[in-house]
Amino acid sequence: MDYNILKIGISNRIAVVVISRPAALNALNSDFFSEFNHFLDDLELRNDVKVLVITGEGKSFVAGADISEMADFGEKEGFAFSEKGQRTFNRLEQLQIPVIAAINGYALGGGCELAMACDFRIASNLAKFGQPEMNLGLIPGYAGTQRLARLTGLGNALYLILTAATLSADEALRMGLIQKVTDPEMLMEEVMKLASKIANNGSRAVPVGKKTIRQGLETDFARGCSIETDAFATLFNDRATKEGLKAFMEKRKPDW
């Protein structure tokens, strides 16, 4: 498939996806979802990619969903629109490999929801965050009501969604929505440094760690601990784990 919206590069076990509709501030439309799901189909078949990075072109990460597509929706179309976005972002969240959002600018509406579906978020100090759907008489539809509360807490999610407030990067960091703020010219360098660090870790431990954390979050503490114990134990069958333990004992870097 030829991509018109996505620019994709893969190097050193890291895939970088750039969303490129700069004239529309990278707003998400049906073509984006078609291309992105095709990309995920291909990615799920690869074993040479260990980390995925998502960013936007120009001054925006993603400034929301394409409003022009929603203008004439009825309830049926609204249901399908929400379901498509949720299904796609759930796929992204459930990838075995870690996903990092490199947020270079506006992350509003569907863009904030896309960022929240990633495993963690690094932002330029020029980035802006928000769920402004109330200004349209709507609520978030791509699981924003659910992920925002889980990431920032109930009070912050209610405040952000019901007021349609826009956050600076520093405010988003304070709320726990993002993990780090950097200068714009350093954003991709910082993100790629983190991606490389993850890609160079014990290969099986990384996806197992991600899966264990996410599964535990959706259950009670005791069940989460049981999931952790099972996952921890299975890693002792892995060659990389044995190499990591041996390297530590021998005071050298592991040869994964």
Which sequence positions are flagged as catalytic? Answer: 113, 133
Task: Give the rounded distance of the alpha carbon of 90 from its chain centre.
Answer: 10
**Per-residue buried b or exposed e for 72-95, using 16+ beta carbons within 10 Å of the residue's own CB:** eeeeeeeeebbebbbebbebbbeb
**Per-residue buried b or exposed e for 34-43, using 16+ beta carbons within 10 Å of the residue's own CB:** bbbeebbeeb
Tell me which residue of 236, 238, 213 sits closest to 225, measured CA to CA. 213
**Which residues, other chains included, contact 224 with Cβ-Cβ below 8 Å and sequence gap of 6+?**
215, 216, 217
**Which residues, other chains included, contact 182 with Cβ-Cβ below 8 Å and sequence gap of 6+?**
122, 123, 124, 125, 190
- Phi, psi of 182, rounded to the nearest 5 degrees: -140, 165
Q: Residue 235, Cβ neighbours under 10 Å: how many?
A: 16
